[in-house]
Amino acid sequence: MHIHILGICGTFMGGIALLARAMGHTVSGSDTNVYPPMSTQLEEQGITLTEGYDPAQLEPAADCVVIGNAMSRGNPTVEYVLDKGLPYTSGPQWLSEHVLQDRWVLAVAGTHGKTTTSSILAWLLEDNDLKPGFLIGGIPKNFGLSARLGETPFFVVEADEYDTAFFDKRSKFVHYRPRTVILNNLEYDHADIFPDLEAIKTQFHHLVRTIPASGRIIAPRDDAAIMDVIERGCWSELEYLGTGQEGWSTHDIQPDASEFSVLLNGEEQGVVKWSLIGQHNKLNALAAIAAARHVGISPANAIDSLSRFESIKRRMEQRGQVNGITVYDDFAHHPTAIKLTLGGLRKQVGKARILAVLEPRSNTMRMGVHGDSLGSSLDEADEVLLYKPKGVDWSVEQAVAHRPDTGKVYETTEDLIKQLVSRSQSGDHVLIMSNGGFENIHARLLEALANKH
């Protein structure tokens, strides 16, 4: 069967492409944002990529067109599919019907930490010989791919609350019907889809309604929004993350959370020593340990496996170092994630200078929904350099108005790179945050720094 995917370079749709290819299908696809690492892994798997949405890409017609949620009415290829009556479906629906049937699905949902937690969970299963399938919105370094079919019934999926497609406005995760679910956290996001937090809670409760009575939900007791979702009705087993004697908790051994003990109902299960940092990553790991236990992996074995976890591309990924200046790439794009990421780096580097570079690229950021909290989320940085992309609907300058000497806004990445090269010095840490390609700024900055020195 020939499957053609519209929006193939999105992290989710790229994973769908890899799974379809592994099942023996001929796979092609198109997108307007073709950039690594997704484009690279697709091409390595023999998947044909087309730039843009000329309907000619569907001549001859594919057997099925899988339409990504970034596609909307008016897109030339979408209109062609509808006019010609070609068979089409959404990515989540295709995944549900062709991959997840008869699988033990472990889903990770939440506003933050989905990719990291999914990657950790998949690795815990892999390192304990369960050989899971997975679809993750990033590329775990332990695997080198964002998706694979696996060899056992277990399948880990990053369960996104974003809408499914232009013709299906339910959240993606209602298609997955998981048996094990992590509800990491819940804040307001995706302002282009949801009018308020209550609307997102409703979707999360739709997910809770799909979990069988023998299934298990792992949730943080101190997250009020998650607890509100649970209180609307829960028919499955519950395990809590948090403090106290009931459920899962941790005790820091190192302040940057690179070493911590894990406790279940007040009893120590072991000590994690791993390469990641930050309180958010510690909680991601705790949730993954709890989920792995549901499929039979002991906490002690899971803790041991974490020592061999290698993180994910674009999650505090060190891209290079030139003359003592270290450049990182991170996917953070929500004020909470930005604050946690910077906080983790600060605890690791101590008093060394941090230069934070941010592209407010997500739809929610571009709409200015988080404008009031963005500035304070960057407080741990010594200097802040904001990129103002075209089409932003609010004054990005207000986020750095309280720091006139150490916060600037730039309208081109060329000017931003020049300023970074001018102001950075040996011992500095440059943290670049964006949920897009950011015009390949990381490689360009490293090259400019090398040329300077």
Question: Among 147, 140, 232, 150, which Cα is nearest to 183's?
Answer: 232
Residue 365, pLDDT > 70, answer: no
Q: Determine the straight-line distance between the first and last CA of the chain, rounded to whole angstroms.
A: 54
Average pLDDT rounded to a whole number, residues 216-235: 96
36/349: higher pLDDT? 349
Please name the amino acid found at residue 420.
L
Residue 429, pLDDT > 60, answer: yes
Domain spanning 317-452 has what CATH number? 3.90.190.20
| 92-123 pLDDT tens trace | 999 999 999 999 999 999 988 899 999 999 99
Predicted pLDDT of residue 371 = 58
Domain spanning 2-90 has what CATH number? 3.40.50.720
pLDDT > 70: percent of the chain? 94
pLDDT > 90: percent of the chain? 59
Cβ–Cβ < 8 Å for 180, 106: yes
| The token pair that represents 376 in the structure block | 């304070």
Average pLDDT rounded to a whole number, residues 352-362: 86
Average pLDDT rounded to a whole number, residues 7-17: 91
Confidence of residue 11 (pLDDT cuts 50, 70, 90): confident
CB atoms within 10 A of CB 316: 23
Residue 376, pLDDT > 70, answer: yes
112/244: higher pLDDT? 112
For residues 149, 104, 158, 306, the Cα torsion angle rounded to the nearest 10 degrees is -90
Confidence of residue 132 (pLDDT cuts 50, 70, 90): very high
Confidence of residue 368 (pLDDT cuts 50, 70, 90): low
Measured CA to CA, the distance from residue 354 to residue 3 in angstroms comes to 46
pTM for this entry:
0.80
Cβ–Cβ < 8 Å for 344, 380: no
Domain spanning 100-306 has what CATH number? 3.40.1190.10
Cβ–Cβ < 8 Å for 192, 363: yes
| The token pair that represents 238 in the structure block | 């519950």
Confidence of residue 205 (pLDDT cuts 50, 70, 90): very high
Q: Which positions ≥6 away from 177 have C-beta within 8 Å?
A: 96, 100, 105, 210
Mean pLDDT of the chain: 90
Angle at 125 between CA 101 and CA 153, to 5 degrees: 20
Residue 69, pLDDT > 90, answer: yes
Please name the amino acid found at residue 123.
W
Predicted pLDDT of residue 277 = 85
Confidence of residue 362 (pLDDT cuts 50, 70, 90): low
| 170-201 pLDDT tens trace | 999 999 999 999 999 998 776 678 889 999 99
Average pLDDT rounded to a whole number, residues 379-405: 80
Measured CA to CA, the distance from residue 280 to residue 336 in angstroms comes to 10
Predicted pLDDT of residue 236 = 97
Predicted pLDDT of residue 366 = 59
Predicted pLDDT of residue 395 = 73
| 32-56 pLDDT tens trace | 977 666 777 788 888 989 999 999 9
Sorted by where each begins, the domain ranges of the chain are: 2-90, 100-306, 317-452
Predicted pLDDT of residue 241 = 94
109, with CB counted inside 10 A (0-12, 13-18, 19+), is: buried
Measured CA to CA, the distance from residue 414 to residue 185 in angstroms comes to 37
Question: Among 142, 105, 108, which Cα is nearest to 286's?
Answer: 108
Residue 382, pLDDT > 60, answer: yes
Confidence of residue 374 (pLDDT cuts 50, 70, 90): confident
Predicted pLDDT of residue 453 = 64
| 267-322 pLDDT tens trace | 999 999 998 888 889 999 999 999 999 999 999 999 999 999 987 777 778 888 88
